[in-house]
Structure 1
């Protein structure tokens, strides 16, 4: 049942009135892009703040402010090195890492004369090695590597797999610092 109310001034609506409900002005062009721009700017700022925070945490800047104590330094325990030995059963490959022609052959002949077993002498993959180094891949050969380094003036010793496929147990790469013994 419909309730009937007395007529009042609000019941007199002009017939030519086409609007119904609240009147809103038409939306201005570009309002959507302005909102999108603000959202994009806020996103960029938040991502930048997050990236800086992660970098600070990863780089160890999480120390408390005012903490001026020096970081503790630990010294590594000295590692035991093998005594230099000369083992005639160990084969050596001599590689010339310099631009000096025939240097690998000369060093190989010198080592053979000193009692070492030289399997091959040739040029290295490049001719600009600065240091003379004895490479060994098996840690049990450290003593022999040190013995070979003692026989070659200025040679260092390095445990490395770089020359493991060279066909010899020790690889001597002659660098530009090599000086022939007089």
Structure 2
């Protein structure tokens, strides 16, 4: 086997190509995503939302994380069909925590930055 540079961070588990993966595991680029800034850094959520917009997630908005008690950056999803999308978003933003959470309301996915 050739030693290719491991830039993607997925060298341990090869991911299926988008054309052959099941619909449930393919990221839903039409998801409504809210990126919430829980840091003291002004504009940080906007920067992260821009990363997602550039990755094809057009329905991404940024706001402040008022009332979220999480201590670490976390990607939340409510509908089980959004799990693959949440994991894709987490990998794009370098976030390790992905959790299912009920009561998110309108956004399909909420990213809380800490």
TM-score, normalised by the number of residues in structure 1: 0.45
- Contact 1:131/1:155 (<8 A) preserved: no
Q: Does 1:96 align with 2:37?
A: yes
- Number of aligned residue pairs: give it: 92
Where do 1:49-88 residues align within 5 Å? 85-88=26-29
**Runs of 4+ with deviation above 4 angstroms:** 126-129
Backbone CA RMSD of aligned residues: 2.3
- Contact 1:99/1:127 (<8 A) preserved: no
Q: Distance in 2 between matches of 1:101 and 1:141?
A: 29
1:9-29 CA-to-partner distances (Å, cap 9, x unmatched) read xxxxxxxxxxxxxxxxxxxxx
Equivalent residue number for residue 160 of structure 1: 101
Structure showing greater Rg: 1
Give the SS at the match of 2:34. Answer: strand
Q: Normalized per residue, which structure has more helix?
A: 1
Q: Which has the higher contact order (CA 8 A, sep 6+)?
A: 2
- Contact 1:119/1:168 (<8 A) preserved: no
- Contact 1:97/1:126 (<8 A) preserved: no
| Residue ranges of structure 1 left out of the alignment (5+ in a row) | 1-81, 176-182
Q: Distance in 2 between matches of 1:141 and 1:117?
A: 16
Q: Normalized per residue, which structure has more strand?
A: 2
Give the SS at the match of 1:110. Answer: helix
Q: Distance in 1 between matches of 2:70 and 2:31?
A: 24
TM-score, normalised by the number of residues in structure 2: 0.70
- Contact 1:136/1:169 (<8 A) preserved: yes
Give the SS at the match of 1:117. Answer: coil
